[in-house]
Structure 1
Amino acid sequence: MGRRIDYYDDPDAPPANSLVPSVNVAVTNNNGEILMIHRTDNDNWALPGGAIDLGESVAEAAIRETKEETGVDCEITGLVGIYSDPKHLIHYTSNDEVRQEFSIVLKARPVGGEPQTSDESRAVLWIPAEQAMDRQMDRSMRRRIQDYLQEQKQPIIS
């Protein structure tokens, strides 16, 4: 498996060669804990998520990716925002793809399943909201989680 390298406003970053719509999902349980994964490809903590496949909706992709990466079934409840900062590049070393960030971040609640790891997650945990920002993560993911925790009145569009 290749690695994932995140760059932000880095003059040494390779140029983008793709733009892939993706989703991240902020799943919160009744205890106010956020479902997070410890990624295998970059050793960072993140919200579950991934690319939207042809033939599926944003919500379908969010539900599928959350289940695949965490074992948890969820129901989409809202929108945090759309993140498309061209300064954030994601380099996948397995195929030399360099994506410009394009992520739709959704809110969700769990409806079944149990946390379990996958090929993409070395750990899956329910993290108390006040501790979510204490984990190692890239700056773009940190911003998404901060925006979610601040409970913005309107979705973020960046």
Structure 2
Amino acid sequence: MARIEHFNSPHAPKPNSIVVAVTVFVQDEQGRVLLIQRTDNGLWALPGGAQDFGEYISETAVRETREETGVEVEVTGVVGIYTNPNHVVEYSDGEVRQQFSICFRGRYISGKPTTSDESSAVQWVERDDSRRLSIHPSMRLRIDHGFEGRNQPYIG
């Protein structure tokens, strides 16, 4: 399913849903962050996705990371909660979702970066190298906050 990101756009469609979603900021031993290139829009992003029924939110973070990257993680904290009402995602099926995403900090456990139906590329990326990738501004904010290693989560 295709998606269009609307960010601070006066022409964005009105949202018709809010879904609890997660992203996961995980680094390897060299301090590189795990990123995917999304198949639905071609942008680079942290792994993540929507919570399923019957799941604790930390389980969502672990599952989505495994499904999209082949990497096992353990949730260790919260980078932030991202709820900008001026960021909506329009899907080809008619859903227009207002952003609601919890970005977790994860610890690498095992696994080798592997692509999936949702990721055309999976890589450990240096902070400086991430600046050259096509990353949506809202995702860039999460990545920057993850690298900052804040004592308190971002709430916005």
What TM-score comes out, normalization by structure 2 length? 0.97
Query: Paired residue for 1:5?
Result: 4
2:105 corresponds, among 81, 104, 107, to 107
**Residue matched to 1:41:** 40
| Structure 1 stretches lacking a partner, 5+ long | none
Q: State the Cα distance separating 1:75 from its structure 2 match.
A: 0.8
Which residue of the partner structure matches residue 51 of structure 1?
50
Paired with 2:131 and 2:67, the residues of 1 have a C-alpha distance of 23
Residue deviations 1:81-106, cap 9 Å, x none? 1000100001111x111100000000
After TM superposition, the structure 1 = structure 2 runs for residues 5-154 of structure 1, keeping only pairs within 5 Å, are 5-93=4-92, 95-154=93-152
Partner amino acid, structure 1, of 2:51: I
Q: Deviations along 1:77-134, whole A, 9 cap, x unmatched?
A: 11101000100001111x1111000000001121112111001000000111232232
Provide the rounded CA distance (Å) in 2 between the counterparts of 1:149 and 1:33: 9
State the Cα RMSD in Å: 0.9
C-alpha distance in structure 2 between counterparts of 1:6 and 1:139, whole Å: 10
Tell me how many residue pairs correspond in the alignment: 156
Deviations 1:1-51 (A, max 9, x none): x21111012121111000001000001111111100000101100000000
One-letter amino acid of the counterpart of residue 46, structure 1: A
Question: For the residues of structure 2 that align with 1:133 and 1:144, how far apart are their CA atoms?
Answer: 13
Counterpart Cα distance in 2 of 1:134 and 1:101: 25
Greater mean deviation of Cα atoms: 115-124 or 3-12: 3-12
